[in-house]
Structure 1
């Protein structure tokens, strides 16, 4: 059981901002005193005191249920995709045209770009609602339902694999990279992106819809250090061609905070814009370009 406290989260953001300011030499006296004053205000805020918090069950909701609800809105604004997508496309644009697999293709955002480059594209995803959106957008696309650790493709069948922002849903990287190695032809390319582990510690843990027991839920995700991806890839002979850990620019926050939310969520950051700008200025995505042995 996890207790999600809006006050606890905001105090955590303030604490991270103070620690970063001291560690990096950017926290002068004015900054530190402002953080301490803001902490006192948060502790005295009657809305936060009244809100308390809520219990949530890790694993009480699954990836399928979350993406069922998200499918219709997945192509809307998303700051992580806005950061990741241009960097992935920059790599893809420099690779030879052939047969490409968009693994965990979702609504087909990478598949659409690959097709535009001239690739014969296969899209694989485990969620039928996400595949339905992809099929409506890209009726000519070869779409298949399947899991990352059991791809519905033959051995040595593709020249390129792209897997965008999906490995955080897999508990074990080894069987997934084994599948990437199996379906790639010798010398084939693998481009992988995933949410960054550092950001996962700082972003709000969102309470999800109640489960069968009526309690709120938390989607379990697997955020890993960069070494975990490299270890899994090297095990199957992949060679590293490029690695990046880009950081998103924090959006401007309102100078006058809106009414205090009563649940943990992104809107809470509007209450502490200066602390949030410092605390969350961290790598947001890990990006790897790998090549199978040729």
Structure 2
């Protein structure tokens, strides 16, 4: 169970902004404004007793609830990962491609459009049902990333998007990716950046009674990927950290006119209470981490 308090979130955002000011990124006036705003937040009666206890749920249960709305417009992660991943995919030859944790088949469709013979694996039957509709010619299988229902040395390419943040350890999953890849095969991973997870980017769903729940999520640092990948013979070909488009802080309405709802589903909706601090805390911070690895082998690296 997670105890989430909106005041804790807001004070954390203020603190991140103040830490960046302490290292010289912002001036004295900014610091004074933050300290004054912290006092206002502490005195805001709406925040005093607004905490909620949030249950962690696994991917099967969580994505069963999320599946109907997963592809709805507004998922900013799709806009950030797809340009980088597509650029990588467009340089690779067609072959047998595994969409690992395929979800509703977002990348399976892109792979099929590029001439790949597509396999898809996911632990959520609800997501797989949508993937089969989206990519009728794909071979979709129920399975776990730590024990893929795919034979050794079977695929030329593995794509895994927005899934490894749910894995407690990267090692067993990347070992499975290396096992199913042919020598010289490619692995493309896109996932939530650890800095974004730190700032509350944890998938949220509602329970049957409307209660807030969060999918089990783990922060994997850049070094965690390398420590898991390199001993397996996975060579780094590219690493990107996509960032949201830069924008100036929004002055926003007076704090008293900002609604707190539904902060327990997406905590960053609280940013309207502290727009300058939120901008300062998040400016330039990556949202995603995208990797391109290649398994050691005879195949040459594409130009």
- What is the TM-score normalised by the length of structure 2? 0.88
Query: What are the residue-to-residue correspondences of 1:63-142 with 2, within 5 Å?
Result: 63-76=59-72, 77-142=74-139
Question: Partner residue of 1:276?
Answer: 278
Cα deviation digits, residues 240-260 of structure 1 (max 9, x gap):
111122222367757226533
Partner Cα separation in structure 1 for residue 293 and residue 68 of structure 2: 32
Partner Cα separation in structure 2 for residue 71 and residue 196 of structure 1: 22
Structure 2 residue 283 is matched with structure 1 residue 287: no
Query: What are the residue-to-residue correspondences of 1:110-259 with 2, within 5 Å?
Result: 110-203=107-200, 209=206, 217-249=213-245, 253=250, 255-256=252-253, 258-259=257-258
Cα shift at 1:46: 2.4
Query: What are the residue-to-residue correspondences of 1:259-270 with 2, within 5 Å?
Result: 259-261=258-260, 263-264=263-264, 265-270=267-272
Cα gap change, 1:67/1:47 in structure 2, threshold over 3 Å: closer, same or farther?
Answer: same
Partner Cα separation in structure 1 for residue 111 and residue 206 of structure 2: 35
Aligned residues: CA RMSD: 2.3
Any stretches of 5+ residues in structure 1 without a counterpart? none
Cα gap change, 1:240/1:131 in structure 2, threshold over 3 Å: closer, same or farther?
Answer: same
Asked if the contact 1:242/1:290 (under 8 Å) is kept, the reply is yes
Cα shift at 1:56: 3.4
Q: Which fold has the larger relative contact order, with Cα–Cα distance below 8 Å and residues 6 or more apart in sequence?
A: 1
Cα shift at 1:145: 1.1
Asked if the contact 1:162/1:191 (under 8 Å) is kept, the reply is yes
Asked if the contact 2:251/2:276 (under 8 Å) is kept, the reply is no
Asked if the contact 1:211/1:217 (under 8 Å) is kept, the reply is no
SS in 2 for 1:37: helix
SS in 1 for 2:245: coil
Structure 2 residue 30 is matched with structure 1 residue 31: yes
Cα shift at 1:69: 1.1
Question: Partner residue of 2:300?
Answer: none
Query: What are the residue-to-residue correspondences of 1:12-31 with 2, within 5 Å?
Result: 12-23=12-23, 25-31=24-30
Cα gap change, 1:254/1:107 in structure 2, threshold over 3 Å: closer, same or farther?
Answer: farther
Cα shift at 1:220: 2.3
Cα shift at 1:12: 1.1
Structure 2 residue 53 is matched with structure 1 residue 55: yes
Question: Partner residue of 1:8?
Answer: 8
Asked if the contact 1:80/1:248 (under 8 Å) is kept, the reply is no
Partner Cα separation in structure 2 for residue 135 and residue 215 of structure 1: 30
Cα shift at 1:139: 1.6
- What is the TM-score normalised by the length of structure 1? 0.90
